[in-house]
């Protein structure tokens, strides 16, 4: 009998709860906890109504290790799925070590007061998890997550050695707002406005945020989009675990309206992360901005169009150079019909459920701190086809990507 605690009841938490509830043979009992319990209660009510499955709820402040440990000891779960914010990764990992529970998340740790995300903080837990006989699985969303799996799958089945990697994240959906983000606005804006870094010949090369772009035409008539190079966390783990990579880049599509708003908001200081004095109080501009923007979990009914996220990998097989593109396309409205959510939360929540399933079924279970590509991609890829994220492979596509 397996019991799981999901922490975070935002856009992604809602999808994870729905998808775990769809697989009762693995997730026998589900508890959804967050800072604001009313959000957990309304997700639980949705699931009860649409699927007839009962899930329990709880209130917890995941910044507080003691509070987390009390909850974990009370409910006695096998695994915590952390889909709160990256700021809570380390406190939840600490609590898991004390309460002896396996851990997984979808985004790497980021300190609240520095817009800097990297794996070092969580990799430092390797020995502690190994000694405790516990597993911590890092980054089991779509990107990171499915993109790590696509790379690992291509490397395993199509190449002797991989040389270049272009991860391309296109959101061809439109929610009709002049400016809104598809996941937590604070995390999204911190990520997009960060200095760009890509991997080239053994080191990360920096360039100004969003200063390099090209056009990309998605397969299966999703359309053509302007994609911008930016830093994304899976570049750090993939270049570590595939040392033959000579170049690795991450690209994301943005619409004109999004970029114009971001520029203006940045110019007037509203994307700042340092506290400022306002009417005798300290406020953080980006947190104030978040309060003004639409909640990403409400975008479901109004987002139309498709996402197309995949990896273009080049390398050699039997001495011959080749290119392989592994990708998934997901329709926003199909996601809404299934779990009342748009495709960004859906494409994150499904791999989180599958990662948890891999651990609970014992297919991936091993002590220590692991990135996705360190584990066998085959059972995970099989489950992506089964649980709503079917993928395809194109060998030697005729993309003319920037070298
Ligand atoms: P939301 O802001 O919609 O939801 C975050 C949830 O976490 C909210 O319910 C929030 O509670 C809760 N939370 C925040 N702080 C705490 C705390 N201290 N204690 C307990 N609960 C807390 O975010 P998303 O659902 O959009 O994103 C969730 C995570 O998924 C993020 O880490 C994000 O980076 C990651 N992500 C990963 C992707 C991937 O592909 N790998 C893609 C998209 C997102 P409250 O309601 O009280 O604010």
Sketch the domain layout of the chain as residue ranges.
146-340
User: Which protein residue's CA is at the shortest distance from atom 2 of ligand 1?
Assistant: 184
Whether 300 is in the pocket of ligand 1, judged by its Cβ within 6 Å, is no
Query: How much distance in Å is there from the Cα of 355 to the middle of ligand 1?
Result: 17
User: Residue 12 Cα, ligand 1 centroid: separation in angstroms?
Assistant: 7
Determine the Cα–Cα distance for residues 232 and 249; give it in Å rounded to an integer. 8
The 3-class SS string of 66-101 reads HHHHHHHHHHCCCEEEECCCHHHHHHHHHHHHHHCC
The protein residue with its alpha carbon nearest to ligand 1, atom 46, reads 36
pLDDT of residue 10: 94
Q: Is the CB of 27 under 6 A from ligand 1?
A: no
Q: What is the pTM of this model?
A: 0.96
Task: Say what the pLDDT of residue 200 is.
Answer: 98
Euclidean distance between CA atoms 265 and 275, whole angstroms: 16
Q: Using the Cα atoms of residue 267, residue 268, residue 269 and residue 270 in order, give the sign of their dihedral.
A: negative
Which residues fall within 8 angstroms of residue 231, CB to CB, at 6 or more apart?
191, 194, 195, 196, 197, 198, 250
Question: 80, 104 in Cβ contact below 8 A?
Answer: yes
Distances (CA, A) of 195 to 56, 205, 285, 304, 370: 41, 10, 19, 30, 26
> What is the reported pLDDT for 252?
97
Q: Is 314 in the pocket of ligand 1 (CB under 6 A)?
A: no
Per-residue pLDDT at 250: 98
Residue-level pLDDT at 400: 82
Provide the pLDDT for residue 116.
77
Cβ–ligand 1 contact at 377 (below 6 Å):
no
- Residue of the nearest CA to atom 39 in ligand 1? 141
CA distance 324 to 199: 19
Closest CA to 84 of 187, 156, 153: 187
Average pLDDT of adjacent 10-residue blocks, the chain of 403 residues = 95 97 97 98 97 97 98 98 97 98 97 85 98 98 98 98 98 93 90 94 96 96 96 97 98 94 95 94 95 92 96 98 98 96 96 98 98 98 98 94 84
Domain 146-340 sits in which CATH superfamily? Dihydrodipicolinate Reductase; domain 2 (3.30.360.10)
Tell me if residue 347 falls in helix, strand or coil. helix
């Amino acid at each position: 009998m397996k019991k799981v605690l999901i922490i975070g009841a935002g856009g992604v938490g809602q999808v994870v709860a729905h998808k775990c509830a769809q697989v009762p043979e693995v997730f026998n009992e589900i508890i959804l906890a967050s800072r604001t319990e009313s959000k957990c209660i309304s997700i639980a009510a949705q699931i009860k109504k649409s699927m007839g499955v009962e899930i329990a709820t709880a209130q917890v402040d995941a910044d507080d290790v003691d509070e987390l440990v009390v909850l974990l000891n009370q409910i006695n779960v096998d695994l915590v799925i952390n889909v709160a914010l990256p700021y809570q990764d380390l406190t939840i990992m600490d609590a898991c070590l004390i309460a002896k529970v396996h851990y997984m998340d979808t985004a790497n740790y980021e300190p609240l007061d520095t817009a800097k995300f990297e794996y070092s903080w969580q990799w430092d837990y390797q020995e502690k998890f190994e000694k405790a006989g516990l597993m911590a699985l890092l980054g089991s969303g779509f990107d990171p997550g499915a993109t790590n799996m696509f790379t690992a799958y291509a490397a395993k089945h199509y190449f002797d050695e991989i040389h270049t990697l272009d991860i391309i994240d296109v959101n061809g959906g439109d929610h009709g707002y002049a400016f809104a983000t598809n996941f937590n606005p604070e995390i999204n804006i911190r990520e997009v406005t960060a200095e760009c870094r890509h991997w080239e010949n053994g080191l990360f090369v920096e360039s100004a945020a969003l200063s390099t772009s090209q056009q990309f035409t998605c397969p299966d008539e999703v359309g053509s989009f302007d994609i911008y190079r930016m830093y994304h966390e899976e570049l750090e783990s993939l270049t570590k675990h595939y040392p033959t990579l000579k170049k690795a880049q991450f690209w994301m599509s943005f619409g004109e309206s999004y970029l114009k708003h971001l520029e203006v908001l940045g110019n007037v200081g509203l994307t700042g992360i340092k506290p400022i004095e306002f009417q005798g109080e300290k406020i953080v501009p980006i947190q104030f901005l978040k309060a003004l923007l639409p909640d990403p979990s409400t975008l479901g009914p109004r987002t139309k169009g498709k996402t197309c996220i995949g990896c273009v990998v080049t390398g050699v097989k039997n001495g011959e150079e080749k290119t392989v593109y592994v990708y998934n396309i997901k329709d926003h409205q199909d996601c809404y019909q299934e779990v009342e959510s748009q495709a960004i939360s859906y494409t994150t929540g499904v791999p989180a459920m599958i990662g948890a399933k891999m651990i609970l079924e014992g297919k991936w279970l091993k002590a220590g701190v692991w990135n996705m590509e360190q584990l066998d991609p085959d059972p995970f890829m099989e489950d992506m086809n089964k649980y709503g994220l079917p993928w395809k492979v194109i060998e030697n596509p005729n993309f003319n990507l920037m070298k």
